[in-house]
Amino acid sequence: MINNTAEKLPTIAILGGTGKEGPGLAMRWATVGYPIIIGSRKLEKAHATATRLNEKLSIDSITGLQNNDAACQADICVLTVVATAHQAALQGLKLGLKGKILVDATARVEFRDPKPPKPPSAARIAQDMLGPETKVVAALQNVPSHLLKQNLGATIDSDVLVFADDKTAASEVVKLVQAGGMRAYYAGDLDSAIVAEGLTAVLIQMNKYYSVKTASIGINGLDV
């Protein structure tokens, strides 16, 4: 469904958007009208991913830039670099992320031996590194990349826990995630985001046990 209203949607940069998780998010938001910038360490790789996704959707609103340029040009940034590069990637992005919301999707879990990580949460580490001028919001840790790529434009069966110290930033991210076809709920502060990272370890073990790639979470009892 394309957004035809007069409202100007924010530009979303997906930093490290060339891997497994980033492209599904990019396609979901592009499908409903958000301008998307794919970020990469390499400009050519960012361009190649943007071109591939545009062709898939028959659109031209996805562009590609190096991560820092992508952050500078976006209104909201989403971090989907491989979890082992989380802190290294953030080092170079501090200036570009100033004054912005950073949605941190990082779940520091090894696929081969999935175990819940120890606190502090990746998002708390990000917030401490970036300082108060960036509002870090943790979200999307429990949404498998395979699910994101299915039924673009339709709601997927996955609930998203959204964590932030700043509830206004959290509300904006809840709306963004909902626009991408997921249910989303505020779930606590950045320290609590360690639970979402741990849940990713649980979901990977369930995927392996049940031979699927799409295990996700659902929340009951909220009338919102």
Ligand X SMILES: NC(=O)c1ccc[n+]([C@@H]2O[C@H](COP(=O)([O-])OP(=O)(O)OC[C@H]3O[C@@H](n4cnc5c(N)ncnc54)[C@H](OP(=O)(O)O)[C@@H]3O)[C@@H](O)[C@H]2O)c1
Amino acid (1-letter code) at residue 130 = L
Of 19 and 119, CB closest to ligand X:
19
In the complex, minimum distance from the CB of residue 110 to ligand X, in angstroms, rounded to a whole number:
10
Q: Which backbone phi and psi does 109 adopt, to 5 degrees?
A: -130, 130
In the complex, minimum distance from the CB of residue 197 to ligand X, in angstroms, rounded to a whole number:
8
Q: Which backbone phi and psi does 88 adopt, to 5 degrees?
A: -60, -40
In the complex, minimum distance from the CB of residue 149 to ligand X, in angstroms, rounded to a whole number:
10
Beta bridge partners of 79: 15, 104
Distance between CA atoms of 224 and 222, rounded to whole angstroms? Answer: 6
H-helix or E-strand spanning residue 101: strand 101-104
Binding mask 89-108 for ligand X (x = CB under 6 A): x---------------xxx-
Per CB under 6 A, 81 contacts ligand X: yes
For ligand X, the binding residue among 61, 63, 127, 141 (CB under 6 A) is 141
Distance between CA atoms of 208 and 106, rounded to whole angstroms? Answer: 20
In the complex, minimum distance from the CB of residue 54 to ligand X, in angstroms, rounded to a whole number:
17
For ligand X, the binding residue among 21, 159, 172, 189 (CB under 6 A) is 21
For ligand X, the binding residue among 9, 32, 33, 41 (CB under 6 A) is 41
Stretch binding ligand X (CB under 6 A), from 5-13, 83-91, 129-137, 177-185:
83-91
In the complex, minimum distance from the CB of residue 182 to ligand X, in angstroms, rounded to a whole number:
12
Q: Which backbone phi and psi does 15 adopt, to 5 degrees?
A: -85, 125
HSE, CB side, 13 Å, CA atoms: give it for residue 107: 25
| First vs last C-alpha separation in the chain | 23
Stretch binding ligand X (CB under 6 A), from 28-36, 37-45, 93-101, 155-163:
37-45
Distance between CA atoms of 155 and 185, rounded to whole angstroms? Answer: 15
| Interface ranges with ligand X (CB under 6 A) | 16, 18-22, 40-42, 45, 80-83, 85, 88-89, 105-107, 140-141, 143-145
